[in-house]
């Protein structure tokens, strides 16, 4: 290298100065690789019974459960902001939760009524995503049917297929199986096709980990008390495993998933990257309730800059390879973008 290189410095220095392109804003913008846009955002919303009712979720400051009429208004805001899709989550009345989860397949259940109301007003101006899983409806808080203390797979899958159909009938655009039963994507695809819903998409929660970061969500949908000291480790993935995520994604794609998801988000960016690089399929990531709660709580204490950590975390998902992010920050981020 140059004879001017000071002794002991790595070859290339000082000709290669990486700070050069960082010096001015115009230059930083020119070399920037990732750009977060409103098209990357999916906004999860929580529904409750009643009309003109809004109820704060204590562990998710700034997030509320909304009655169906106010959900329609919130979706209107999303449409105005250009957010491409919302994900609707029902906080089901405790009286309707049973071991058999019958409310999941009631065409008049809360989520189906919300989907119909939203679609009536906004039609194709925005996509509506609904989970397929039994936890909002189970008295035990598990995502499937329980027999002898175990969440049974195949019987649960039969129920999920019926749940997918009632949600598709209500107008849901994307069915998102979040249950982690084996074989559910193929079964749900077949059920949807068999009922004529050829164009209803499946976004598979393919690599969903048995994470402690879901705590505030369980408060939001009122399932925390139902689950008690139980856990979901016999079906959700072990946080210690990476390779298994690729096997899960491979199966879900082979079974007909249109897109896949990694969940949670920030602690699992390596999984997002591996999934995107391996399959080159539409890949989403869920910045879950606990991640939101951490950032917002720290910001409320004045320890973090809310706006900056929000945008930085969302940009990190893009950098890891995600095509989009389910995030409780969606509206706030969209307002800034």
Question: Catalytic residue positions?
Answer: 208, 263
**204 neighbors 160 (Cβ within 8 angstroms):** no
Neighbours of 123 (CB within 10 A): 9
Q: Contacting ligand FVT (CB under 6 A), which of 42, 288, 320, 334?
A: 288
Neighbours of 34 (CB within 10 A): 12
* Short-list 73, 326, 70, 138, CA closest to 214: 326
Q: What character string, x for contact with ligand FVT (CB under 6 A) and - otherwise, covers 129-158?
A: --x---------------------------
**Closest distance to Mg ion from the beta carbon of 255 (Å):** 9
Residues 176-235 that bind ligand FVT (CB under 6 A): 178, 214, 217
CA 239 – CA 248 distance, rounded (Å): 14
Question: Which residue spans within 133-282 are E strands per DSSP?
Answer: 146-147, 150-151, 174-177, 201-208, 259-263
Annotated binding-site ranges for Mg(2+) = 248
**Closest distance to Mg ion from the beta carbon of 15 (Å):** 51
Of the pair 167, 289, the CB lying nearest ligand FVT is at: 289
Residues 114-133 that bind ligand FVT (CB under 6 A): 131
Annotated binding-site ranges = 248
Contact stretch for ligand FVT (CB under 6 A) within 147-155, 245-253, 285-293, 306-314: 285-293
327 touches ligand FVT by CB under 6 A: no
CA 331 – CA 337 distance, rounded (Å): 10
Q: What are phi and psi of 64, to 5 degrees?
A: -130, 155
**91 neighbors 46 (Cβ within 8 angstroms):** yes
Size of the residue set binding ligand FVT (CB under 6 A): 7
Q: Contacting Mg ion (CB under 5 A), which of 179, 248, 255, 291?
A: 248
As a three-state string, the secondary structure of 280-334 is: CCCEEEEECHHHHHHHHHHHHCCCCCHHHHHHHHHHHHHHHCCCEEEECCHHHHH
Residue nearest to Mg ion (CB): 248
Of the pair 103, 255, the CB lying nearest Mg ion is at: 255
Under the rule (CB under 6 A), what is the footprint of ligand FVT?
Answer: 131, 178, 214, 217, 288-290
């Amino acid at each position: 290298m140059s004879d001017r290189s000071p002794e002991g410095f790595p070859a290339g220095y000082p000709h290669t100065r990486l700070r050069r392109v960082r010096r001015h804003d115009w230059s930083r913008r020119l070399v920037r690789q990732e750009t977060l846009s409103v098209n990357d955002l999916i906004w999860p919303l929580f529904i409750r019974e009643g009309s003109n009712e809004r109820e704060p979720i204590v562990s998710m400051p700034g997030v509320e459960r909304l009655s169906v009429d106010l959900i329609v208004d919130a979706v209107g805001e999303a449409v105005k902001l250009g957010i491409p899709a919302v994900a609707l989550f029902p906080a089901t009345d405790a009286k309707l939760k049973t071991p058999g989860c019958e409310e999941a397949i009631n065409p008049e259940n809360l989520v189906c009524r919300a989907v119909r109301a939203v679609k009536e007003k906004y039609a194709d101006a925005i996509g509506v995503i609904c989970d397929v899983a039994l936890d909002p409806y189970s008295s035990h808080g598990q995502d499937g049917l329980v027999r002898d203390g175990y969440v049974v797979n195949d019987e649960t899958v039969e129920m999920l297929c019926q749940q997918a159909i009632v949600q598709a009938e209500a107008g849901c655009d994307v069915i998102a199986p979040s249950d982690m039963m084996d074989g559910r994507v193929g079964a749900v695809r077949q059920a949807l096709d068999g009922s004529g819903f050829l164009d209803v998409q499946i976004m598979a929660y393919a690599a969903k980990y048995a994470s402690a970061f879901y705590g505030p969500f369980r408060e939001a949908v009122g399932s925390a008390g139902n689950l008690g000291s139980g856990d979901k480790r016999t079906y959700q993935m072990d946080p210690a495993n990476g390779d298994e995520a690729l096997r899960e994604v491979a199966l879900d794609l082979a079974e007909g998933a249109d897109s896949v998801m990694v969940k949670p988000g920030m602690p699992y960016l390596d999984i997002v990257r591996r999934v995107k690089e391996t399959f080159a399929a539409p890949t989403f990531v869920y910045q879950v309730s606990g991640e939101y709660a951490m950032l917002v709580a720290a910001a409320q204490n004045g320890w973090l800059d809310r706006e900056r950590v929000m945008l930085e975390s969302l940009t990190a998902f893009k950098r890891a390879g995600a095509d989009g992010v389910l995030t409780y920050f969606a509206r706030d981020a969209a307002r800034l973008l």
